[in-house]
Amino acid sequence: MRNWQVERRKRTRHLIELGGLVVKAGLVSLTGDRATIFGALLWVAEKLQSDQSERARALWAAKGKYALEND
């Protein structure tokens, strides 16, 4: 298999995993709307670029770890 094929498969798997997290978090059933989900993700990105990024990252990481461990 060529290197570009391997990299493409890795990227595809990564994107599928991220989509799975969106579903697992319940965002699809709660919104049913791609624009709302995208808007929420843009809000998260803004938070991570703000002066509150460290606090937000720590809070979200702890919440995510807890949810994944107790799934």
pTM value surpassing 0.75: yes
Q: What is the pLDDT of residues 3-56, one digit of tens each?
A: 999 999 999 999 999 999 999 999 999 998 999 999 999 999 999 999 999 999
What contacts 22, CB < 8 A, 6 or more positions away?
28, 37
What contacts 31, CB < 8 A, 6 or more positions away?
37
pLDDT of residue 30: 95
Is 90 exceeded by the pLDDT of residue 70?
yes
